[in-house]
Structure 1
Amino acid sequence: MAVAVNLLVPLKRLTVAKSRLAERADVGTVRSALALAMAMDTVAAALSTPAVSRVLVAAAEPDELSAVRTLGAEIVSDGGQPGLNTGLRHVAEQLRADDPDCVIGALQADLPALRADELAAAIAAGESRRAFCADRAGTGTTLLLSAPGEELEPHFGPRSAQAHAASGAMPIDLPVPTLRADVDTPEDLAHVQTLGVGEHTLAALKARAWAC
């Protein structure tokens, strides 16, 4: 039977998002606009993935995200918890209370080239086990999946891929370049454009003459 996943997409305050893009965007409002555009393309791809039943954006400031809500995502508070992992655990506990047997996933919000078929392939490859997909550098994590009815147990942060593996999560070993292409640096931003970014990110880049 196909797995249906409830995906959590954590999104920090837009005013402090993507600080490592500073050399391309030294004005906070510019980085905020790009962070929002990338999140919208990530969410749009997730919503179009048949294996995904719900997409919940876990936000520090839900009122900032009315544009994301128009795509069909649910916007929920991360509970004001300090740190990405505590916020994810907060929302995951609420999901688990509503549906004790569901699969919960955490998907990074900065995957503007994400394709639904690659996300679906990764979910299927998880084989209903706790599993993760590393980023293209092999050190970070772009997707973490729980087993049905089990804890998500997130360990996002520096060297999270190693931390997830050490905690017993199965690495997803598939050629899914758009799922591995998160954006933290100007080099990452150039790379995702070679893969083809979504419409919101492309519009944001063109507005600032950054499109390749």
Structure 2
Amino acid sequence: MTVSDTTGQGGEASRSASNTSTLAGYEGCADEYAETTAPKPETDDQPALVELLKVLEPASRLLEIGSGPGWDADWLEERGLVVRRTDGAESFVQLQASRGRRAERLDVIGDPLGGPYDGIIALHVLQHIERELLPPVFTRIAEAIRVGGVFLLALREGQGESAEIGSKGNEYYVALWPRAEIIAILDTLGFDLRWSHSFEGREGRWLTALFRKGAPQ
């Protein structure tokens, strides 16, 4: 699952080397990614999605950024929510189409997000956005969520930036963020932290957090 390319002045596409390589990596590994992340029949361990369900009404409308194979959207739709599936990689859009699901190509940095939604989900995807571009993306996300709506985020914790090599040899750009900094940025946009969980994954430490958008002061 991935974002699309960065955009420059006037909305013109302006690919950085990091975005180009990251996107190319996901374009080439959709089937492999889907296989390695597929839900296991013997478990239904989705703590972040369970927390999301607790604060949403039935039939709530969600935007999912970086849907990838669509496993999380499947889980949510099975429980009565309406999910707009999007991804920056055409390979994932086509993979979902082959599964009978409708997904759209979306550049979270430059394309209109639509809304207002009852919630937006961005799990394990926004770490690929360059550090200086993520706060403006958060602003766009905030503008697309109704007052009282929610934002579910999973982001890599830490300091600095890195380039990681995937199984196909592509470099994936990753920005690491201190937990306190992410919470502070979202606080300035009117988001209150409702739930959070940190865990160690094979790529490092992840912060998963659920925020609610409050009324303007």
Range into which the TM-score falls when normalised by the shorter chain: 0.3 to 0.5
TM-score, length basis structure 1: 0.35
TM-score, length basis structure 2: 0.34
Q: Between Structure 1 and Structure 2, which shows a larger proportion of strand residues?
A: 2
Q: Between Structure 1 and Structure 2, which shows a larger proportion of helix residues?
A: 1
